[in-house]
């Protein structure tokens, strides 16, 4: 099935179309893949570097929760050591997070633009790609910050709701009778909202709208597409959790015996970085296909421009968007 088909694609068909999309990207796919691998490797290496310091802080804090407490004269020295470790962790983590945030931002714009043009059968040059990045990176940044704030807001409201449910009983306890359904509700609410938020990033790259406009457009496009979008995000998140779960299990197995040599530890960190990078690239392809499926479901079909066929890029709603 091609992008010009008027038949709606199912979840498995969207996943299959997305699987073929990177190969259709041609010469741009390999550089994008290498840059994604480099970006995630940098993040993984930073985490590997601060992991011993984090474990050291945990080891230093553990005596404070035991009885009897450490001798009073040793406490100031202990607190100074903890403060020193936390300062180092904060410096390294903040620098790594900042570099990764902006690297992933430019890669997000480049990847979504490459996939969106590839999906409609348009060819682009390196100059066009760089021009699109220069024009859309700031607008995509604003959209991404909105998504980050909304995600933090959802996490805060969820934490407050869980605390309210826990404190409503005497003694404070989160009953499985209410806690189980509530957690399931939170999971599906996150999947539902996360799908719209991820699609708003594709919109910020492909359309002329951004920020609140991209978020509003994702709400409109998501109408009648909730089930497909939520199931797609469920699949993507499940595999992502499996990747980190396998990494955590490997680390736990390694720590159970003699400490593995640093080379083996680096291989495990490099493995999870590579798997995460590849899966994130595939996730962008999935949301690209889903974005166009949402457009088609709202009557935003292909229009002819000169001798070529392609999707129009306009904001919703507008008279020009419905041809």
Whether residue 171 has a cis bond before it, omega within 30° of 0? yes
DSSP, collapsed to helix, strand or coil, labels residue 8 as coil
Residue 148, CA distances (Å) to 101, 115, 238 in order: 11, 23, 21
In the chain, where the domains are located: 11-321
CA proximity to 163, closest of 146, 145, 182: 182
Whether residue 50 has a cis bond before it, omega within 30° of 0? no
* Cβ neighbours for 69, distance < 8 A, ≥ 6 positions apart: 63
Predicted local distance difference test score (pLDDT) of residue 315: 43
Predicted local distance difference test score (pLDDT) of residue 121: 86
d(CA 134, CA 123) in angstroms, rounded, equals 19
Predicted local distance difference test score (pLDDT) of residue 287: 95
Q: How far is CA 3 from the centre of its chain?
A: 25
Helix (H) or strand (E) holding 305: strand 302-305
Q: Using the 8-state DSSP alphabet, how is residue 28 labeled?
A: G
Residue 70, CA distances (Å) to 66, 78, 80 in order: 9, 10, 15
pLDDT at 74 > cutoff 70: no
Q: How far is CA 109 from the centre of its chain?
A: 14
Lowest mean pLDDT among 42-51, 62-71, 115-124, 250-259: 62-71
pLDDT at 29 > cutoff 80: yes
pTM for this prediction: 0.83
pLDDT band at residue 208 under the 50/70/90 scheme = confident
DSSP, collapsed to helix, strand or coil, labels residue 220 as helix
d(CA 197, CA 180) in angstroms, rounded, equals 26
């Amino acid at each position: 099935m091609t992008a010009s088909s008027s038949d709606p694609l199912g979840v498995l068909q969207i996943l299959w179309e997305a699987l073929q999309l990177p190969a259709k990207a041609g010469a741009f796919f390999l550089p994008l893949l290498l840059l994604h691998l480099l970006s995630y490797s940098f993040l993984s290496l930073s985490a590997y570097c601060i992991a011993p310091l984090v474990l050291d802080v945990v080891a230093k804090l553990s005596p404070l929760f035991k009885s009897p407490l450490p001798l009073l004269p040793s406490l100031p020295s202990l607190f100074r050591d903890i403060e020193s470790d936390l300062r180092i962790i904060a410096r390294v983590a903040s620098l790594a997070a900042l570099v990764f945030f902006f690297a992933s931002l430019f890669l997000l714009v480049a990847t979504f633009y490459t996939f969106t043009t590839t999906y409609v059968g348009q060819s682009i040059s390196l100059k066009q790609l760089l021009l699109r990045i220069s024009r859309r990176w700031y607008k995509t940044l604003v959209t991404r910050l909105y998504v980050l704030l909304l995600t933090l807001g959802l996490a805060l409201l969820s934490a407050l709701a869980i605390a309210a449910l826990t404190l409503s009983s005497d003694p404070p306890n989160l009953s499985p009778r209410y806690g189980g359904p509530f957690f399931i509700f939170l999971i599906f609410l996150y999947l539902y909202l996360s799908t719209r938020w991820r699609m708003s990033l594709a919109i910020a790259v492909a359309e002329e709208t951004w920020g609140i406009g991209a978020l509003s457009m994702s709400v409109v496009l998501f109408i009648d597409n909730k089930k497909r979008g939520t199931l797609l995000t469920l699949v993507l998140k499940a595999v992502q959790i499996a990747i980190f779960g396998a990494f955590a299990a490997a680390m736990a197995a390694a720590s159970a015996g003699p400490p593995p040599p640093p080379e083996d530890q680096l291989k495990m960190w490099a493995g999870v970085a590579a798997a995460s990078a590849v899966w994130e690239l595939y996730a962008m392809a999935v949301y690209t296909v889903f974005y166009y499926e949402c457009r088609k479901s709202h009557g935003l079909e292909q229009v002819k421009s000169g001798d070529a066929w392609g999707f129009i890029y306009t904001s919703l709603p507008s008279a020009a968007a419905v041809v």
